[in-house]
Structure 1
Amino acid sequence: MTETDFLSFFLSFFLSFFLSFFLSCLSIYILYLLSYHINININININIDINIDINQ
């Protein structure tokens, strides 16, 4: 294995690792945002239900 082969192999390995790491972080961030919005919607729905119960 020559030096350029090793360098190209290392670069491709590093790029694939960086891409997978970036994609995993992005998916975790998207899931966090989704759960945050879902929590807001659940809280709003619970508050509306409580207000309706109090009025009746």
Structure 2
Amino acid sequence: MTEVRHEDVAAYALGLLSEEEKTAFEHHLAGCGSCAAEVGSFTAMGELIKGVHPDDLLPSP
């Protein structure tokens, strides 16, 4: 059985977990409101980051 760690929230939100880890974490999410809320935060932040163009991060000339 795969051990679920609360630290896996970011890895889950970024799609970095193996299939086995992902399945275990999704079972954990069903009963852990704290992790579920964190996943929601990471997901929202990911959407914001997707909207940033790399040129926007460079200093102005």
TM-score by length of 1: 0.37
Larger Rg: 1
Higher RCO structure, 1 or 2 (CA under 8 Å, sep 6+):
2
Comparing both structures, which one devotes a greater share of its residues to helix?
1
TM-score by length of 2: 0.34
